[in-house]
Structure 1
Amino acid sequence: MAILSVLTGIAIVLTLGYGVLNGFRDASTAVAASIRTRALRPAVAVSVAALFAFLGTLATTGLSVALVDKLNFNVPDGVVGLKLLICGLLTAGAWGLYCWWRGLPVSSTHALFSGLVGASGASAFMGDMSMSGAWGLLLGSVLLPLLVTPVIAYILSYLLVIPATWLMRHNTSQSVNNGSRAGQAIAACAVALGLGLQDGQRTGAMIALVLITGHAMDPGPMTWAIQLAAGAALSLGVLLGGWRITYTLSRRLVNFDPLRGMIAQGVAATMLFLGSLVLHLPLSTTQAVTSGIVGAGNNQAFESVVWRNVSKVLVHWVLTPAICVAGGAILTLAVHPLLGNA
């Protein structure tokens, strides 16, 4: 029981750390466009984003267990299950820090799920219990969204620029920019709310999963304490900001104006809301916002996209599942001699 309690405590700390890192990195996606077009000042942008991310997390109190059920995977009870969760969290955290240092926006969710799948595969290879539905999780919650989310966000943002510019054709550029900045400020709040609905929900689900696996909680409805902890971790990360990624999204990928920034953020927020509240599917905030910005920015009379930098981001999106599956497997193999007989 002692080792079970210790591992549960370690897994809880790592889960909260994952929530902080998630907010730290994904704050960039929520506020980068509004900062780029001066719709919001940086300090105001992160403060507002932190508030709405917290509120979005609290709004998912009844949905986090539904998310776990929807994903259709189960972690073994006890030490084996906690080992898998710890290895998956460590892998996702390490990859997230590396990509932040490089200024690359990648999906924290894809990193976590891929790390868990890799850990499960290594556990099965060694003859231990493993997660049921692991490869379905990889296919349905990582690989399929990786193909679908960027394409939908890009196409919708690109196409919506056409009616938006037509409706504004008789307005002055100053009035269009001023109105778009106001709309973009609202859209930034909506993206931050969607961040809480998506990533805050997953953090709360992970906390509950750790407690259930460690026999510290019975399966059942999510408690307010869990969601408060998840929301606080995510909001703390948002307040810390992730300015390296903000610079990439706002300066290195595409040149866009307030109107296109508003469209991109509006599309991303809508996708996040539908994914969480209607479909109960995990969507990447990073991929939705990034693809929306590139799509809207590309619909201009002049070449505005730096495709070399966009390609670098896309490569790391594809590398995330492969590297994190491998990382989760290697970590599990490494800790097996320490916990194999526990």
Structure 2
Amino acid sequence: MTVTSVLTVIAVILTLAYAVLNGFRDSSTAIAAAVRTRALTPVVAVVVAAFFAFLGTLATSGLSTALVDALNFNVPDGTAGLKMVICGLITAGAWGIYCWWRGMPMSSTHSLLSALVGASGAAAFVGDESMAGAWQLLLGSVLLPLLVAPVVAYALSYLAVIPAMWLVRHNTSRTVNEVSRTGQAVTACAAALGLGLQDGQRTGALVALVLMNGHMMDPGPVTWVIQLAAAAALSFGVLLGGWRITHTLGRRLVNFDPLRGMIAQGVSAIMLFLGSLVFHLPLSTTQTVTSGIVGAGHNQSFESVFWRNVAKVARIWVLTPVVCIFGGAVFTLAISPLF
């Protein structure tokens, strides 16, 4: 096998492994609120979430390729581009594992894109080909969503509590909780579907990119085989669960009831759907759901948010692009003499 073929195989394996890690981490965002309020048992929650993440990933083959086009992974062809992808995946994966160990929710998408930008900058520094439009990708797909999506999810969830409370004002708390738990089961499925629509689509796009750069696939749309592999990897990761992060989202950020949990999940799912299918924007499932939970939980007559813990999560979100750009650059410089 040639060096290019070997690097292609390594890059495909790492991409699918990163999808497993992505599902493992982001399963918590889909199920945390439902498990916290006992709308779903943990086992049922991860199985249902895995099924809908799988379904959402496959659905993107027929529903939309515009989000893939919007990401515009313009990595160089051949060995230079494959090295960049490998360095980005390893860097983002290491950061993701560290954040999981700390129980901190963070964006797998932002970490990967930032690591690719860092790898691209390092490649240019040593005189290799770099990724076209790297800084535009960082601005449009990382920094702008980082600033806007959490604020929108928080505000919409906070405001949605007001009409919801008015609608149930004549019901008993027991009735409201029972109905809301049923609604939470539905919105948890919707959030998992949104995970597939967003993260599953990006995984398929990256696998196709690797195969094309390694000259193992002709340029063209993402095939069903690739999308099936991406769906299987993502849903397998969801099945493993990310209980450290689930505990953080469900118990360490805010106290909330089933009604507010249902609202947070519903708002987040709608944002993920619109981002993928209408506006073609890569949104972080983690940031959208986390901000929705804090927003809905904050709209109560008593102080329910643990702002110190929320600040810790926000710091991780801000640090993610910085750490991954630096890590991607360092790793690329480290392996550049080998190829």
TM-score range, shorter chain: over 0.9
Alpha-carbon distance between aligned partners in 2 of 1:68 and 1:115, rounded to the nearest angstrom? 18
What amino acid sits opposite 1:279 in the alignment?
F
1:24 and 1:240 in contact (8 A); partners too: yes
Matched, 1:208 2:226: no
Alpha-carbon distance between aligned partners in 2 of 1:59 and 1:278, rounded to the nearest angstrom? 14
Alpha-carbon distance between aligned partners in 2 of 1:107 and 1:229, rounded to the nearest angstrom? 22
1:67 and 1:205 in contact (8 A); partners too: no
Q: TM-score, normalised by structure 2?
A: 0.99
2:116 and 2:328 in contact (8 A); partners too: yes
Task: Indicate the SS of the match to 2:293.
Answer: helix
Compute the displacement of 1:62 (Å). 4.4
Task: Indicate the SS of the match to 1:171.
Answer: coil
Match of 1:16 in 2: 16
Compute the displacement of 1:64 (Å). 7.0
Match of 2:92 in 1: 92
What amino acid sits opposite 1:192 in the alignment?
A
Alpha-carbon distance between aligned partners in 2 of 1:262 and 1:67, rounded to the nearest angstrom? 27
| 1:288-335 Cα shifts (integer Å, max 9, x gaps) | 000000000000011100000000000000000000000000000000
Q: What are the ranges of 5 or more consecutive residues in structure 2 without an aligned counterpart?
A: none
Cα–Cα, structure 1 residues 109 and 211, in superposed 2: closer, same or farther, change >3 Å?
Answer: same
1:87 and 1:331 in contact (8 A); partners too: yes
Task: Indicate the SS of the match to 2:234.
Answer: helix
Q: What are the ranges of 5 or more consecutive residues in structure 1 without an aligned counterpart?
A: none
Compute the displacement of 1:70 (Å). 1.5
| 1:61-99 Cα shifts (integer Å, max 9, x gaps) | 146753332223411110000000000001110000000
Large movers: runs of 4+ above 2 Å: 62-69
Alpha-carbon distance between aligned partners in 2 of 1:274 and 1:99, rounded to the nearest angstrom? 28
Match of 2:328 in 1: 328
Identity among equivalent pairs (%)? 76
Match of 1:296 in 2: 296
Match of 2:51 in 1: 51
Alpha-carbon distance between aligned partners in 2 of 1:62 and 1:130, rounded to the nearest angstrom? 32
User: Which is further off, 63-72 or 81-90?
Assistant: 63-72
Match of 1:110 in 2: 110
| 1:26-83 Cα shifts (integer Å, max 9, x gaps) | 0000000000000000000000000000000000114675333222341111000000
What amino acid sits opposite 1:113 in the alignment?
L
2:64 and 2:277 in contact (8 A); partners too: no
| 1:144-171 Cα shifts (integer Å, max 9, x gaps) | 0000000000000000101100111000
RMSD: 0.9
Match of 1:163 in 2: 163
What amino acid sits opposite 1:171 in the alignment?
N
Alpha-carbon distance between aligned partners in 1 of 2:254 and 2:325, rounded to the nearest angstrom? 31
Compute the displacement of 1:280 (Å). 1.4
Alpha-carbon distance between aligned partners in 2 of 1:232 and 1:68, rounded to the nearest angstrom? 19
Task: Indicate the SS of the match to 1:218.
Answer: coil
1:64 and 1:202 in contact (8 A); partners too: no
1:110 and 1:320 in contact (8 A); partners too: yes
Match of 1:255 in 2: 255
1:62 and 1:221 in contact (8 A); partners too: no
Compute the displacement of 1:219 (Å). 1.2
Matched, 1:307 2:307: yes
Cα–Cα, structure 1 residues 180 and 155, in superposed 2: closer, same or farther, change >3 Å?
Answer: same
User: Which is further off, 207-216 or 55-64?
Assistant: 55-64
The 5-angstrom pairing of residues 1-342 of structure 1 reads: 2-62=2-62, 65-339=65-339
| 1:261-282 Cα shifts (integer Å, max 9, x gaps) | 0000000000000011111111
1:21 and 1:237 in contact (8 A); partners too: yes
1:154 and 1:291 in contact (8 A); partners too: yes
Task: Indicate the SS of the match to 2:61.
Answer: coil
2:24 and 2:242 in contact (8 A); partners too: yes
Q: TM-score, normalised by structure 1?
A: 0.98
Compute the displacement of 1:221 (Å). 1.9
User: Which is further off, 299-308 or 58-67?
Assistant: 58-67
Alpha-carbon distance between aligned partners in 1 of 2:174 and 2:71, rounded to the nearest angstrom? 47
Cα–Cα, structure 1 residues 63 and 142, in superposed 2: closer, same or farther, change >3 Å?
Answer: farther
Task: Indicate the SS of the match to 2:60.
Answer: coil
